[in-house]
Structures are given as C-alpha cells and as structure tokens.
Amino acid sequence: LSVQRALNVPRLPSDLFDLKIPYEWTLGLRGEPFLLVNEFYDNNKEKLLIFATDWSLSFLSTCSRWHSDGTFRVTPLLFEQVYVICGFSEGFMIPCVYSLTTRKDETAYTKIFRHIIALGESRQGVCMNPTSLTCDFETAAIKAFKIIFPAARVKLCFFHFSQSLWRKIVDCSMSSYFIRSDDKDVTNEQQEHTRYWFNGAIGLALIPPQLIQNTWVDLMDNFTPDTAGGTSFN
C-alpha cells in the first residue's frame, strides 16, 4: 500500500523549503491558473499561498459584501490555516479566494488583502471596493481589513459571537447549568433563569444599539446566576 501511494502521491515535505507544488496542481479544473501567489516573507521564515481564478477575482470585484473565515481542520502540513474570502451578490455566497498561511497575524492578513487588490488590477483590470466584511472575531484580520479598506465596515458573525459566549460559559465553569441532569446542586428554576440570561446575552446582537445597555442591565439584575462564574461572565 505504501509503495502504491508513493507512486501516485508526492512525498510529504519536511519543511517549507521542501514544499514543491507540481505544475498541474497549480491549475484549476479548466486548466486556468489557480495558484496565483507563492511567496516567502519575513526573511524566508513564513510562506503564503493564494489560490483564485480570473473569474473569481472578477466576481469578487462586483461584490460590495465580503465574508471571510479561517479553518484549521483541512489545513495541510506546515501551514497554520486555510483562509477563505467569499463574495455575496444577488443572494449567492461564492468562495473566491483561498489562502494558505503559516501565521495568523496582521502581517499575513494585510498581505492577503493587498495581493487581492493587485491581482484584480493586473489580471482583470478590476478594482476591489468592498463596503463591508463579515468575519469572525479574529482581531488581526479585522485590523488588516480596516487598514486596506478604511471606508468599509466590519460586521462580526453572529454564529461566531454565540460560540465565543459559550466558550466564556465553559471558562466560567457554568456549563452544568445548561445540561439536564439529576444534579441537585442546580435546580430546574436556576437552569431556566441561566438559559434566559445566556440567551439574552446572545440576543443583544440583534437589538438596536441604543437599547443594549439598558437591556443587559435588566438581564443582569434579574437573571444573573448567584455564582462567581456568573459575575465573571457579566
């Protein structure tokens, strides 16, 4: 099995300098260029790969709304993440640019956005001018986007917002308040109050900004669990 695999799949690189991408793997399904950026930076310590097609760059330039997210589960060896930028237009969300990065810092994200602008101009003669970016709570990506597109708005993803609040619940050792069990230390009434309090925290993202402070104060006053974790969460 190992011999057969070696005949069909290149060996895994031991480091970034050992990474060799076969020419046919740099092309899209129709034979068009797909790997558009393959560079080292920071004294050859970091690497950035950017994949896109001319069509996807052209489509992205027509989109005022961009969405981005990083993922780690499918990230290849030697890289930190796969970072995807999607364009939203006429009800369709289409992945347009895929980046492989060895870092998740402001420098890496700034390079990605600068390359997207340059690629659009050089390959398609188009201008990238998004008015908004919806993303997770990656501070470095937000800062980089604001530097490159200062007039655009950054909107934070509601799903990631909810996830971050749940992680805070876990950090505060309060997950037992959300699990049905025979634990006599947490009554059904306490669980109901805690769920209402937590769901209220999530719901703050959905109400007008001018109502947030008073709404959250009411929730804290009436439903905060009488625990150190509840105080820490607030």
Please compute, for residue 204, the number of CA atoms within 13 A of its CA located in the half-sphere on the CB side.
Answer: 20
Q: Quick check: 48 pLDDT over 70?
A: yes
Q: What is the CA radius of gyration of the chain?
A: 23
Do 88 and 66 form a contact (C-beta atoms < 8 A)? yes
Mean pLDDT, range 39-52, rounded to an integer: 96
> Using CA atoms, how far apart are residues 40 and 168, in angstroms rounded to an integer?
37
pLDDT confidence of residue 189: 81
> Using CA atoms, how far apart are residues 139 and 156, in angstroms rounded to an integer?
11
pLDDT tens column, 54-83: 999 999 999 999 999 998 888 989 999 999
pLDDT tens column, 209-231: 999 999 999 989 888 888 888 88
Q: 195 and 110 share a domain?
A: no
> Using CA atoms, how far apart are residues 92 and 61, in angstroms rounded to an integer?
14
> Using CA atoms, how far apart are residues 94 and 177, in angstroms rounded to an integer?
39
Lowest mean pLDDT among 28-37, 113-122, 223-232: 223-232
> Using CA atoms, how far apart are residues 77 and 57, in angstroms rounded to an integer?
27
Q: Quick check: 150 pLDDT over 90?
A: yes
Per-residue pLDDT band for 85 (boundaries 50, 70, 90) equals very high
Q: Quick check: 101 pLDDT over 80?
A: yes
Q: 78 and 148 share a domain?
A: yes
Q: 47 and 94 share a domain?
A: yes
pLDDT confidence of residue 223: 86
Domain span including residue 89? 2-156
- Which class for 41: exposed (0-12), middle (13-18), buried (19 or more C-beta within 10 A)? middle
Q: 121 and 170 share a domain?
A: no
Q: 166 and 149 share a domain?
A: no
In CATH, what number is assigned to the domain containing residue 152? 3.30.420
Q: 131 and 218 share a domain?
A: no
Q: 12 and 61 share a domain?
A: yes
pLDDT tens column, 161-205: 898 899 899 999 888 888 766 655 777 788 888 888 999 999 998
108 phi and psi angles, rounded to 5 deg? -65, -45
pLDDT confidence of residue 5: 73
Q: 88 and 10 share a domain?
A: yes
pLDDT confidence of residue 183: 59
Q: Quick check: 105 pLDDT over 90?
A: yes
Non-local (6+) Cβ contacts of 93 within 8 A are 67, 86, 87
Residues linked to residue 40 through DSSP beta bridges, in sequence order: 47
Mean pLDDT, range 119-138, rounded to an integer: 95
Which helix (H) or strand (E) segment holds residue 133: the answer is: strand 132-135
pLDDT confidence of residue 161: 86
Q: How many structural domains compose the chain?
A: 2
The last residue of a domain, from among 140, 156, 172: 156
Q: Is the dihedral of CA 198, 202, 206, 210 positive or negative?
A: positive
Q: Which two tokens stand for residue 105?
A: 């810092």
Q: 140 and 58 share a domain?
A: yes
Q: 143 and 171 share a domain?
A: no
pLDDT top residue among 7 and 215? 215
Q: 91 and 206 share a domain?
A: no
> Using CA atoms, how far apart are residues 5 and 30, in angstroms rounded to an integer?
26
> Using CA atoms, how far apart are residues 217 and 201, in angstroms rounded to an integer?
11
> Using CA atoms, how far apart are residues 183 and 210, in angstroms rounded to an integer?
39
Q: 210 and 163 share a domain?
A: yes
Which helix (H) or strand (E) segment holds residue 33: the answer is: none
Give me the percent of the chain exceeding a pLDDT of 70.
Answer: 98
The last residue of a domain, from among 141, 156, 171: 156
